[in-house]
Amino acid sequence: MLVNHKLTIATLLRVFRGRIILTWAMILCETGLMALMPLLIGRAIDGLMADQLGAFWQLCGLMAALIAISVLRRLYDTRVYGTIRVELGNAQARRSQTLPISAQNARLGMGRELVDFLEHLLPEAMAAAVQLVIAIIVLYVMSPWLALACGVVTMVVMAIYGLFHRRFYQLNNGLNQQLEAQVSVIEQRRSRPFHAHLLKLRRLEVGLSDTESLLYGSVFIFLLGLVLFSLWYATTQLEASIGTIFSIISYSWEFVDSALALPATLQSWTRLSEIMQRLNGPRPEVNSSAG
């Protein structure tokens, strides 16, 4: 199914679009039900205090639907993405027969990362996006200035990631290139080249970790600043009750939690961009030395 196609995320989405659309629909439904949970819990509390069970049974129905959809989606996902991994692996094997075994082995693992992105990271990003939109809408209803602050912070987060994109790409390029040499290094059965190989992997992994730490440290400054701004604005600029102030801070924090998925998704996409170029381009020179 994939032999005559470029091995990219777009290709996987196109070839397996029917199956992936179905699992995405279940993800959106699951996320929507989760977003309704606080609302129905509040209504159930009010209803029970008034000796009315209608809202309580609605909450029970929502929970039952959420459990059913969650279980069915996970059962379906495992089979769908398992099939995609098989088809992708077969396509890789056919087009990489001239590569050294070391490179073939490494690229097979890299190819699976494309499917992992579709199965895990992208659904998490979709769920976060839904929660992000809900948080902004609720904050806008309470005050347009709070929603505006969220929008500004979102653009700042994307701009910050743009400063780190090239560094992430270069480090992933070096890491993947070194991984392609791993089997060849092991086959030498010599301790010095193997030790040098491990040292280079360590340097690249430390570089990725340090860059990631700087990225998230920079992002957190603005995200936590948003929470402090929301607290200040709600308590000093709005005539709001304690419950409303609590809701503003809660949704501001939910925005922060969801917004963190943005750099995580972009970082994964940067790595996948390098992998897709590697899988579909000419074989790069592999350096098995410590470098």
Report pLDDT digits (tens) over 134-171.
888 888 988 899 999 999 999 999 999 999 999 999 99
Assigned domain for 207 exists: yes
Closest CA relative to residue 139, chosen from 39, 254, 272, 60: 254
Assigned domain for 57 exists: yes
Please tell me whether residues 161 and 205 are part of one structural domain: yes
Which ranges in 181-260 belong to alpha helices (H)? 182-188, 191-236, 242-259
- What is residue 96's DSSP assignment? T
Assigned domain for 100 exists: no
Tokens of 250: 């809660």
Confidence of residue 282 (pLDDT cuts 50, 70, 90): low
Could you give the percent of the chain with pLDDT greater than 90? Answer: 25
- Distance (Å, whole) CA 205 – CA 210: 9
What mean pLDDT is reported for the chain?
Answer: 84
Assigned domain for 107 exists: no
| Domain CATH code at residue 288 | 1.20.1560.10
> Does the structure show a pLDDT above 90 at 214?
yes
Closest CA relative to residue 273, chosen from 126, 163, 120, 171: 171
Assigned domain for 101 exists: no
> Does the structure show a pLDDT above 80 at 259?
yes
Please tell me whether residues 64 and 189 are part of one structural domain: no
> Does the structure show a pLDDT above 70 at 52?
yes
Number of domains composing the chain: 2
What is the pLDDT, as a whole number, of residue 209? 92
- Distance (Å, whole) CA 52 – CA 48: 5
- Distance (Å, whole) CA 114 – CA 268: 10
Please tell me whether residues 72 and 148 are part of one structural domain: no
What is the pLDDT, as a whole number, of residue 147? 92
Enclosing H/E stretch for 21: helix 17-49
Assigned domain for 103 exists: no
| Assessment of whether the complete model's pTM goes beyond 0.85 | no
Please tell me whether residues 56 and 141 are part of one structural domain: no
Please tell me whether residues 225 and 154 are part of one structural domain: yes
Residue carrying structure tokens 């439904």: 29
Confidence of residue 48 (pLDDT cuts 50, 70, 90): confident
Residue carrying structure tokens 């902004």: 136
Assigned domain for 105 exists: no
> Does the structure show a pLDDT above 60 at 286?
no
Please tell me whether residues 231 and 286 are part of one structural domain: yes
- Distance (Å, whole) CA 252 – CA 259: 10
- Distance (Å, whole) CA 226 – CA 156: 12
Please tell me whether residues 148 and 216 are part of one structural domain: yes
Closest CA relative to residue 109, chosen from 75, 138, 76, 85: 85
Closest CA relative to residue 148, chosen from 136, 161, 159, 131: 136
End-to-end CA distance of the chain: 39
Please tell me whether residues 160 and 57 are part of one structural domain: no
19-33 pLDDT, tens digit per residue, is 989 998 998 888 888
159-208 pLDDT, tens digit per residue, is 999 999 999 999 998 888 888 888 788 778 888 888 888 898 899 999 99
Domain that holds residue 174: 120-291
Q: How many residues does the chain have?
A: 291
Q: Are 97 and 234 in contact (CB under 8 A)?
A: no
Q: Are 161 and 263 in contact (CB under 8 A)?
A: yes
What is the pLDDT, as a whole number, of residue 226? 92
Please tell me whether residues 214 and 127 are part of one structural domain: yes
Assigned domain for 261 exists: yes
Please tell me whether residues 81 and 180 are part of one structural domain: no
Closest CA relative to residue 234, chosen from 222, 225, 243, 221: 243
Last residue of a domain, one of 95, 111, 131: 95
What CA–CA distances, in Å, run from 171 to 107, 148, 176, 261? 17, 35, 9, 21
> Does the structure show a pLDDT above 80 at 105?
no
